[in-house]
Structure formats: structure tokens, C-alpha cells
Structure 1
């Protein structure tokens, strides 16, 4: 897909913005690389993969804020509702970044993260009650976390209409089958010219055909084939002989 199919071409440091290599988050290798080189966002689906602490959520949050969305989730018009009385740039990263957009591709942005999903459900229900927003697609607080997450991801207008979709570990709430359905919906979004950036630990999601995968580790951000991902290797070893792992821990 050409650059015209990318609502956001890249995210980069604002010229002259300060960098502190000895402090968080600048000391995280992936963040340091972003500040140094910028981050190109290809058309279609891009997954950020890495261990805890490698900067996946920090990067997705920063991209969300640069694109005008609250780091707790939502869209520019309908935010998650948490921390509305405080500053939103929690890492101090977004304020030093800018987005380079494709001409004529300024469509809507939607950010959904697993850990703040219930606060976003509350916001949606309150906004609909006072006539300040569209009604939620379902009684989200009356179903399981996974069911509510699936409802928003697969059937809500915020996801279906977003030109840029940002996700933070969506698999944490989803069954195997619903992860497959989510992957199919992300592929459909890419085919429609929409752009997806997703932080994940899921070997299932990252196997999506045609997806771009960036591994975050001590080297920074590295494009990796699915078969070469650390998480794929680890899951294969575990499933092949789980007793080897448990022997070391128990």
C-alpha cells in the first residue's frame, strides 16, 4: 500500500525537544530510538512486541496523545474519563513528539487499552445518559470483561470508523476464538486503508498475515519475522515440554 494509504506516516521528535538519556522513559532503548530516529508507521497493521518494561505501552500512549487522544483511551471527542483533572502526558514523551500525516488523511483516531476499558465503558454510559455521546453498543458493565471488550472491538462505531486504531494488549481480555476474530477485523481494517498500531504479547495476533512486527528489547525497535519473535520461540518451547519450565520454578 502506498504512503497515501497511511493516515499517519511517522512520529518523530520535535526539533530541539529535550532528551535525557539517563531518565525514564528516554533511557528505554525503544524510546531512545524513537527520539533519535523517529518511528515510521507503515500502512496496515503494526504490532509492537516485547517483554514488560520495553516501552510498548509508553509508545502507544504517546502516539495516542500526539494524535489528540487521551492516554486512558477513547477518541478525540469521547475520552476514557480518567485523569481528566490532571495532565495527560504521563511519561512526558508525547509533548516532545509530532506526527507527520499524509495529505488529506486526517480521519478519526480511536485508542482502546485493556487496563482502562471499564473506565471507558463508564464514560460511554454517562455520556449517552446526558445526550453527550452515542449510546454504548451494549450494556458493557453487565457482561464479562472479555465480552465487553469484544463488543467494543468488533461492533462499535468508534472502532469501525477510525482511520487510525490504537490498541494496548487487547488479547488480555479475549479468548482464543475472539483473538482470531479480532485479527480478522484488523485485516479488514487494513484492507479498507485504515491503520492499526497494537502493543501485544499474543503470538496469535502477531501471526496475522501481512502484519508488520517490531520487537522491542535492549536493541531498541527491530523489524522481526513472526517465526523469529522471542515470544513465539518461548511459547513453542513451553507447549512442547511445559514440565521443563515448571521444574525450574517449583
Structure 2
């Protein structure tokens, strides 16, 4: 076990208040295996929609003390109580060191986080820590990346839920570079993603969540990588399989 990590393992106890989340493949698998050990500064959770990767990440965030909609441990806003009760049943094994920083960042509710930052800035100056401009005055991708570049200071625990939803491929690469800089500053990341670009981060742990369970998987064996590779190697063939498009029509473009 890596003593440098802030979060070393995630387990699940008996359900305190069972809800739909306990029927999700990822949650059932975690209950069977007892706990999921984290051994690298960067851990990815990968899986099809509906497997429970975002629900599990949200529960970990809430159990750590983050706002379920996103933000720091000091964000207390709530626009809708839609998060699962799973967090009440999680058991987090923490490392000996405490992080000095932390953030739960999710593309899905980023608008609400940006609104809360503007509200708090009216009480006490806050925008300087987020780049000096309202996040609402930038595009979704620009504001998302600006938050990471300006607000994440290092020595922190950062949870990201499908960040690629807000980012172009070029911005995903910029996020990779920022992530690496923060790892070098003693940070730890837990990221739910479908992005083959983000998954390429060197020496990361990748856990694939499915009906089979939670399996540690090499990058080149993940579905996002394999599917993207297959498409780029022969896009006309895949489009023909999907759409019945003739190869000649594709080549004419």
C-alpha cells in the first residue's frame, strides 16, 4: 500500500439506507470484493453507462465530505437532492497524510458550481482563485479547464467525473499536462471517464466496471482504446457496419 496516498481503499459496509444504487454492477461488485485498493496517484474508473462508475465516484466524494454536486468541502449549496444514499455505507481507508486541497469536479453539474462561486464572490473575493473571471463568462470547456489550472493547487485529492464531456480533444490533452503537474505536487486523482486520451496517462491504475465485477485492466485492453483504434484504422468499414454506408460514398467525401 502506498503511504503517500490520501485515499488508500474504498469498501462497503451493510446498507444503511438501501436505494437503487445498491443494484448497480459496480456497487454489487464492491460489496462482493470487500474493498477496492488504490495504489497509484491516478486511478481511472471505466465502464458503460449504467454500470455505476459515476454513482460510486459521487458516493466517495460525499463520504469524503465534498458537496455531492461538486466543489470543495466548504461548498454547501444544493439545487436538487438527487445523490444516492450509498455514501452512508462506504468505508474509506485514509492514508497517514491529510490533503491540503481537494475538489470534486463533475461536468454534469458544473454550471451549478460556477453559479455558487459567483454567489460566494459577492460575499468575499473568490474569483481570483479561479482565474479572475466568472466561469459563466467563458465557454464550458474554457471554464472547466480554467478551474483546474487556477484552483487546483497541489497536495490535494481531486475527484473528476467524466471531465471529457466539457473538453475538446486538445483541451483533454491540456488537462493531462495539468494533471501530471499536480501529481508531481503530491496530488491524487480518482477519475471516472470514457476518454481514451485521458486513460493514456502513464502508470495510472485503470479499473473496468462491468457485470463481471471490477477488474484492473491495461490501457490497451480497455474498450475506449480498442473501439477508438478500430474506428481510426478503418472508419469507412465501421460506418458501413453501423449505417449501411457504402465505402465509395465515404471516400467521395
Aligned with 1:25 (options 5, 21, 24): 21
Q: Which residue of 1 aligns with 2:190?
A: 197
SS at match of 1:72: coil
Measured after TM superposition, the shift of residue 201 of structure 1 is: 0.7
Q: Which residue of 1 aligns with 2:136?
A: 141
Q: 1:126 to 1:98 in 2, by over 3 A?
A: same
Greater shift in the superposed pair: 112-121 or 188-197: 188-197
1:208-241 per-position Cα deviation (integer Å, ceiling 9, x unaligned) = 1111111111212111111111111111111122
Write out aligned runs for 1:92-171 (5 A).
Answer: 92-131=85-124, 134-135=126-127, 136-137=130-131, 138-156=133-151, 159-161=152-154, 163-171=156-164
Contact conserved, 1:73 with 1:79, CA < 8 A, in 2?
A: no
Q: 1:155 to 1:211 in 2, by over 3 A?
A: same
SS at match of 2:74: coil
Q: 1:18 to 1:78 in 2, by over 3 A?
A: closer
Measured after TM superposition, the shift of residue 245 of structure 1 is: 2.9
Q: Which residue of 2 aligns with 1:46?
A: 43
The answer to whether residue 56 in structure 2 is matched with residue 62 in structure 1 is no
Point out 4+ residue stretches in structure 1 off by more than 6 angstroms.
Answer: none
Q: Could you list the runs of 5+ residues in structure 1 that have no partner in the other structure?
A: none
How many angstroms apart in 2 are the aligned matches of 1:119 and 1:226?
33
Measured after TM superposition, the shift of residue 54 of structure 1 is: 1.3
How many angstroms apart in 2 are the aligned matches of 1:117 and 1:191?
26
Contact conserved, 2:159 with 2:191, CA < 8 A, in 1?
A: yes
SS at match of 1:75: coil
Equivalent residue pairs, number: 239
Measured after TM superposition, the shift of residue 106 of structure 1 is: 4.8
How many angstroms apart in 1 are the aligned matches of 2:212 and 2:38?
19
1:80-131 per-position Cα deviation (integer Å, ceiling 9, x unaligned) = 5423xx4x6x222111112111123254431000011111000000011022
Q: Which residue of 2 aligns with 1:13?
A: 12
Q: Which residue of 2 aligns with 1:238?
A: 231
Give the TM-score normalised by structure 2.
Answer: 0.87
Aligned with 2:220 (options 210, 221, 227): 227
Q: Could you list the runs of 5+ residues in structure 2 that have no partner in the other structure?
A: 244-253
Give the TM-score normalised by structure 1.
Answer: 0.88
Measured after TM superposition, the shift of residue 191 of structure 1 is: 2.3
Which of these two proteins has the greater Rg computed from alpha carbons? 2
Contact conserved, 1:30 with 1:219, CA < 8 A, in 2?
A: no
How many angstroms apart in 1 are the aligned matches of 2:63 and 2:171?
30
